[in-house]
Chain A
Amino acid sequence: MNKILIIDDETPTLTMFRFLLSAYGYTVLTAENGEQGLALFDQERPPLVLTDIKMPGMDGIEVLKRIKKIDPRTEVIVITGHGDMDLAIKALNLDATDFINKPVQRQALNQALKRAEERMKLAHNKDQEISVSSENNTAVIHIQGNISSHSEACLQQAYQQVVAMDKDKILLSFNESASINGAGIAILTQLLLDAQQHNYKVLVSGLSDNFKKVFNIVGISKLVEEIVSGK
């Protein structure tokens, strides 16, 4: 059974999380503050951590930093206040797997957990993260895993391949497990601006609701023709 560590200053929330995640089949560890959470993490080394961001004392961002320092492979999902995108992006930049808005919806929780699981599997074959294919008059870039500064070379390469195909449309097809951090967004923005100059029609598909929101906030949505839900 997978272990999961939940850090939240609210005891009722912790209780509810424990019931829910136990029902999912996780072994649930809980901590009421950052320090306690870190100590428990160090001791139990769970591969998955859920942490609230706004906490007295050590906050969620600090916990995220420390955990990534101890074990960068750990998947950390942050829980943010409703619509607090600045903190969400800040967490993504620090290589958080995903963020969930409060109040936590089961669907969002499921997606985030699923993405985390898939990323854990993908961790072994990083090269497969970005691939290119072509369908009719559309060039497709498949994206899975985590888009970060490390992905710049792959993305640039994929973009060049797409340009070479000389199609009207470019489809950015995100896998459900895909996540993008701040650096990844910056690279993507750069590529999309270039595509706009060359009059490519860019479509985006497969984005989770969370990342749709992020794209809206950072302005990527304005650079693309359409964001298609699902496949």
Chain B
Amino acid sequence: MKLFADISIKNKFFFSIMTVILIISVAIAFLARWMLISTLTTELEIRGIALASSIADSSSGYILEKNYPQLLTLIYDVQQVSERKHLVAYIFITDPENKVISHTFTQPFPEQLRVANSIPPEQPQSIKLLHIGKKTAYDVALPIREGIYRIGTVHVGLYKSHIDTLMDQLRFMFLGFILLIIVIVFLISHKLAMYITRPISKLIRISNELSRGNFDIQLDNIIEGWKPMDCPAYGNPDLPCKLIEETESSSGDKTEQATRNLLACKQCVFYGRRKGDEVVQLANSFQNMIWRIKPYPQQLKETEEKYRSLFDSGPDPIFVVDRNSLEIVDANPRAFELYGYLKEDLIGKSILDLGPKTDKDYLSYFKEDEDAQGCVYYPKVIQYGEDQKPFFVNVHACAISYKDKPAIIIEATDITDLIEKDAQLIQASKMKSLGEMSAGIAHEINQPLNAIKLGSEFLEMMATENLDVPQNEFLRVVNEISNQVDRAADIINTLRAFGRKDSLIKDELDLNKPIKGAVSTVGKQLELENINIKLDLSEQISPILGYDNRLQQVFLNLVTNARDAITKRNKKEGRKDGGTITIKSYQYGNKVFAEVQDNGIGIPQSVMDKIFEPFFTTKEAGQGMGLGLAITYGIVEDHNGDIKIYSKEGEGTTFILSFSEAV
């Protein structure tokens, strides 16, 4: 079977037809042979019987008379008559005692013949195939009767070779006939196979050319009389055809929408069904296919060049990263420039080596789910250049397939300048806060200074006037002075910590810490303004990732805002005290929350959506830049946190901040 599958279609046709013809021929030959042989044998037997009975009729007299020479003459005559001598092998007559009384043999009578074919009783005759020497003959035995007596038996031997000769002739004729048919079948199958295989061979040749990338082959005459130029839309801009137009316009910048608007004829000469058998249909559709794909390699090349130039001249670094190994597979010149690596150093490097180990959130999206598609955006990711200098980028990462492998394309926009400006703005806002706080701070520092001054004046006076200071009073004064110095130093440390610029990397920290820091900075001042600060801080909250200093700035801004809101309400309602700021911290799920609540004037609904906008302020000109809440929002966003406001005019405002716990 395997052998059959491997041979060509032409031979398949030939061998198939041949096999069928041979099987039929052999069957017919055997059938014909059987019919002929039986017919001829019967004929021979009938002739033998007829011959034998005529001899029996004519010979009975001679036998009764015992005239044996006459009898011999008779059987010789019968045997030798014309062509009969070729047919009759011998004739012999036996008497009832089975003794040969006459025979036609020229040589001595073969004794075995006498008993070879005896007529069984109740049978009119007996026929038997006998071998005499080298020949084969049918022996027909017939009794010779006179009245009711049997007086002898006549045996006529008929050559079987007579039949064999006929059969040989017949066989010869038959074989010749079959040979003739085979030749005809071979010619027909060859012709038929050629008709089918010639276009297929041609298609195979063209396919091979195409797979070698040669799209310039001439294919106008796979099928005769078929040409794309026959289409009325060919090269005709007035007939926009989506099927043929593309082949003419090599420009790939046609928009998808425009392509969709193109039409095809109802009776398309190009793609319509052509007359002809399956081979013609196949060749036709093959040619259409080639016609369609012929312009694509060129378009592909142009597109590749176009995108390559976009990639190369992109203003931001772009990396192509293998999704499994996270190795950089490709990068554009801007990436080399910004990161300071040589191309050969950067390609093959792991993308993880370009940033600190902690900052890999944007890749986890692709790691968690192997099949994750789409894009992720992560702002303010730290990266290190070749000189290990840190800088900030906004990262856009999308899953793509690059050279048939899953990959991630990462675009990193350098935002270091922006971050620096941001830091400057935050710093400026801090300095502004410090300025606002200066009166309160002066008061704060004046308190211990005052006590110290009084204590030292007391000691000085006692010393200059030579008065005795009781031991306990002396100790008390000196201790108190020391305590007050510590207190002043604490205040200064808090201020210095607040004024310091943050490090670039977030640390794990307890959210209560910046809250306490902010409260310790302004708490006393608020107390002097008769504003109550209630702290309801949970000790069970998880740490978050953040900048202590900036969060302190957030809480300071929120508390200052709350203070202003309370002062406004007091002024409006003429009340003296009753202002309360409540600060809570708590955890819910994997989020850590902080709430700053006041019972101040509240925020009107009309400005609610504006309060985080930069330069929006309800304060009088000169009172504030309107940057406080904008900066607060920016800082919270930097921490991937969220800020929500609930406010009712005349009743108060609650800011709720939420942060993800550090993992």
State the A residues within 8 Å of B (CB): 10, 12-13, 15-17, 19-20, 23, 54-57, 59, 79, 81-82, 102-106, 109
Contact of B446 among A16, A20, A103 (CB under 8 A): A103
Nearest CB of chain B from residue A206's CB, rounded to whole Å: 25
CB <8 Å contact, B442 and A103? no
21 residue pairs A–B, Cβ–Cβ below 8 Å: A12-B451, A12-B484, A13-B451, A19-B455, A19-B476, A20-B461, A23-B462, A23-B467, A54-B443, A54-B528, A56-B527, A56-B530, A81-B443, A82-B446, A102-B447, A103-B446, A103-B450, A103-B454, A104-B457, A105-B457, A106-B460
CB pair A82 B442 closer than 8 Å: yes
A17-B454, A56-B528, A81-B442 in contact; A106/B447 too (CB < 8 A)?
no
Q: In the complex, what distance in Å separates the CA atom of A82 from the CA atom of B606?
A: 43
**Dominant SS at the B interface?**
helix
Instruction: Provide the residues of chain B in CB contact with A57, threshold 8 Å.
Output: 530, 577
Q: Is the CB of B473 within 8 A of A19?
A: yes
A64 to chain B, nearest CB (A): 16
With CB as the reference atom, state the residue of chain A lying closest to B447: A10
Bitwise interface map of B from 441 to 475 toward A, beta carbon under 8 Å scored 1, else 0: 01100111111111101101110000100000100
- Knowing A12-B483, A12-B484, A54-B528, say if A102 contacts B467 (CB, 8 Å): no
- Cα A12 to Cα B477 in complex, Å, equals 9
* A20 CA / B449 CA spacing, docked (Å): 16
**Interface contact B458-A16, CB-CB below 8 Å:** yes
Is B510 an interface residue, CB under 8 A from the partner? no
Q: What is the CB-to-nearest-CB distance from A26 to chain B, in angstroms, rounded to a whole number? A: 13
A103 with B453, Cβ < 8 A, contacts A10-B447, A23-B458, A54-B528 known: yes
Instruction: Tell whether A104 pairs with B454 under 8 Å between CB atoms, given A10-B447, A19-B477, A54-B443.
Output: yes
Shortest distance between the CB of B113 and any CB in chain A (Å) = 161
Question: In the complex, which of the residues B446, B460, B577 contacts A81, with contact meaning CB atoms closer than 8 Å?
Answer: B446
A20 to B453, CA, bound (A): 11
* Minimum distance in angstroms from B574 CB to a CB of chain A: 15
Evaluate contact between B449 and A102: CB separation under 8 angstroms: yes
The CA of A104 and the CA of B528, in the complex, are separated in Å by 20
Residues of A within 8 A of B528 (CB): 54-56, 59
Scoring B residues 271 to 294 as 1 if CB is less than 8 Å from chain A, else 0, what string do you get? Answer: 000000000000000000000000
Closest residue of chain B to A20 (Cβ to Cβ) is B458
Report the bound CA distance from A104 to B456 in whole Å: 11
Check A12 against B448 for contact (C-beta < 8 Å): yes
Residue ID in chain A nearest B460 by CB atoms: A106
Contacts of A16 in B (CB 8 A): 451, 454-455, 458, 477, 480
Residues on A with beta carbons closer than 8 Å to the beta carbon of B447 = 10, 13, 102
- Closest Cβ–Cβ distance, residue B405 to chain A (whole Å): 70
> Chain A's nearest CB lies how many Å from the CB of B487?
9
Closest B residue, CB atoms, query A100: B450
Nearest 9 Cβ contacts at the A-B interface: A16-B454, A103-B453, A12-B451, A106-B457, A20-B458, A103-B449, A103-B450, A102-B450, A102-B446
* Beta-carbon nearest neighbor of A16 in chain B: B454
Assess the A13–B442 pair: CB atoms within 8 A. no
- Contact, CB under 8 Å: B458 / A13: no
| Residue among B443, B448, B454, B530 with most chain A CB within 10 A | B454
Residues of B within 8 A of A15 (CB): 451, 476-477, 480
Give the residue among A12, A103, A105 with the most B Cβ atoms within 10 A: A12
* Cα A54 to Cα B445 with chains together (Å): 13
Contacts of B448 in A (CB 8 A): 12
Smallest CB–CB gap between B618 and chain A, Å? 26
Distance in angstroms between the alpha carbons of A10 and B480 in the assembled complex: 12
Question: Given A10-B447, A16-B458, A55-B528, A104 and B453 touching (CB < 8 A)?
Answer: yes
Distance, CA A149 to CA B530, complexed state (A): 33
Residues of chain A lying within 8 A (CB to CB) of residue B462: 23
Provide the B426-454 mask, 1 if CB < 8 A to any CB of A, else 0: 00000000000001001100111111111
Q: For A10, what are the chain B residues with a Cβ–Cβ distance below 8 Å? A: 447, 450-451
Give the distance in Å from the alpha carbon of A20 to the alpha carbon of B458 in the complex: 5
Q: Are A105 and B453 in contact (CB under 8 A)?
A: yes
When distances are taken between beta carbons in the complex, the residues of chain B under 8 Å from A59 are 528
A82 to B450, CA, bound (A): 10
A21, B20: Cα distance in complex, Å = 140
Whether A104 touches B450, Cβ cut-off 8 Å, given contacts A12-B484, A16-B458, is yes
Q: Nearest-CB distance from B452 to chain A (Å)?
A: 7
Nearest-CB distance from B549 to chain A (Å)? 28
Instruction: Verify A20–B454 contact, CB threshold 8 A.
Output: yes
Name the B residues within 8 Å of A54 (CB-CB): 443, 528
Which of the listed residues B458, B483, B527 has the most CB atoms from chain A within 10 Å of its own CB? B458
Query: With A and B bound together, what is the CA distance between A59 and B446 in angstroms?
Result: 17
Determine the residue in chain A with the shortest Cβ distance to B487: A12
Task: Determine the chain A residues whose CB is within 8 A of the CB of B442 once the complex forms.
Answer: 81-82
Which chain B residues border A103 with CB–CB below 8 Å? 446, 449-450, 452-454
Residues of A within 8 A of B450 (CB): 10, 13, 79, 102-104
Interface string of B212-249 (1 = CB under 8 A from A): 00000000000000000000000000000000000000
What are the residues of chain B within 8 A of A109 when measuring CB–CB? 457
Given A16-B477, A19-B477, A103-B449, 17 more pairs with CB closer than 8 A? A10-B447, A12-B484, A13-B451, A13-B454, A15-B451, A16-B451, A16-B455, A16-B458, A19-B476, A23-B458, A54-B443, A54-B528, A102-B449, A103-B446, A103-B454, A104-B454, A106-B460
Measured between alpha carbons, how far is A20 from B359 in the docked complex, in Å? 61
What is the bound-complex CA distance between A104 and B527, given in angstroms? 23
Please give, as numbers and ranges, the residues of chain B lying within 8 Å of A20 by CB-CB distance: 454, 457-458, 461
Contacts of B480 in A (CB 8 A): 12, 15-16
Q: Separation in Å of the A116 CB from the closest CB of chain B?
A: 18
| Contact residues in B for A55 (Cβ distance below 8 Å) | 528
Residues 183 to 233 of chain B near chain A (Cβ within 8 Å): none
CA distance A57 to B476 in the complex (A): 28
Q: Which residues of A contact B451 (CB under 8 A)?
A: 10, 12-13, 15-16
- For the complex, what is the distance from the CA of A74 to the CA of B446, rounded to whole Å? 27
Pick from A13, A16, A57, A103 the residue with the most CB of B within 10 Å.
A16
Residue of A nearest to B453 (CB): A103
Chain A residue at smallest Cβ distance from B455: A16
Most buried by A among B451, B476, B477: B451
How many angstroms between the C-alpha atoms of A79 and B462 in the bound complex?
23
> CB-CB < 8 A to A17: which residues of B?
454
Judging by beta carbons under 8 Å apart, are B483 and A106 in contact? no
Name the residue in B449, B450, B462 with the highest tally of chain A Cβ atoms < 10 Å from its Cβ: B450
